[in-house]
Amino acid sequence: MDGSQQRGPVSTRPARSGAELSAAGAISPDKIAEIDRVAQRYAVAVTQDMLALIDPHDPADPIARQFVPSEAELTTAGEERSDPIGDDRLSPLKGIVHRYPDRVLLKPLHSCPVYCRFCFRREAVGPGGETLTDAEMTAALDYIRGHEEVWEVILTGGDPLQLSARRLGEIVGALDAIAHVAVIRIHTRVPVVAPDRIGDELVHALSADKAVYVVLHANHPREMTEAAARACRRITGAGIPMLAQTVLLHGVNDDPIVLEALLRTFVRHRIKPYYLHQADLAPGTAHFRTSIAAGQALMRHLRGRVSGLCQPEYVLDIPGGHGKVPVGPTYLDHGKVADWRGTVHDYPSIAKPIAAG
């Protein structure tokens, strides 16, 4: 089933239990108990837009794999950790993560419209996930005001586009008024998983004198339905540039044809691919992780087959809070350089000085 054949949503309420997923046709009734066992530990929510994309006859459906719980999540590998990228130790106060000198994360809430089964914050987010109180938001904004090295603020969470347009506009306006903040970045899945939320009022709430970027998270080309494309056009049509980030996931997009199609789809809709993330060491997610070598092979495939506009940077978030580093393939080594076909050519490793004329 592709995006043009999706079943029409019949409700606006996400499915949050095995029984609700079964009633929606996403799982068979014999899976209800398994789903509910996982739901006791990790949050479950699948929006009607995503339920409409799931092919119940395909046991390897890539949309279901991202959102429908699996008993594999209850097995934690030895290398996995509850805070895989070290947010906690880099949080000077509630709602702020300050990992890099020139930017901070601002997390106004901990709820999402859907709960990805591979989420690196799965121990912290959930339905009813708390929103910062007025006092906590004031303290977070005061922290940003007091750190003049902060050039960029990244709204994340939880999903900031879950906020009301009024509340979102207040936050964007407050950041816009801080002289040393030049860029406001918003990370979200909403345009794909709940596209009807992207109305004129919400888009208006994103307007600022400062540069505002919206970074969309999507992992499979089928997620970009016509409704999702319309939501993204509302954002880009308002003059707000969009980037995309994707998590490399076994059984979802670790296939060169699928990944190529996803990246082309982004660019066709004026969304620049930004990051391809190696899946983090979140508990119960080993069944999603590929090897870094597999990711590098995929990046080699992309190099000669899609435009530079379609090329994301393949990155690893070093466990413990040490930041992201590129882990893509290397093409230059000791005077030899490989082209995208794999053919090796000579290249001088030390440039010769130009003779004076």
- Active site residues per annotation: 99-100, 103, 112, 116, 119, 121, 280, 317, 324
Structure tokens at 272: 């620049």
Cα 157 to Cα 188: distance, rounded to the nearest angstrom: 9
End-to-end distance of the chain based on CA atoms, in angstroms? 67
Q: What is the dihedral of CA 75, 129, 249, 315, to 10 degrees?
A: -110
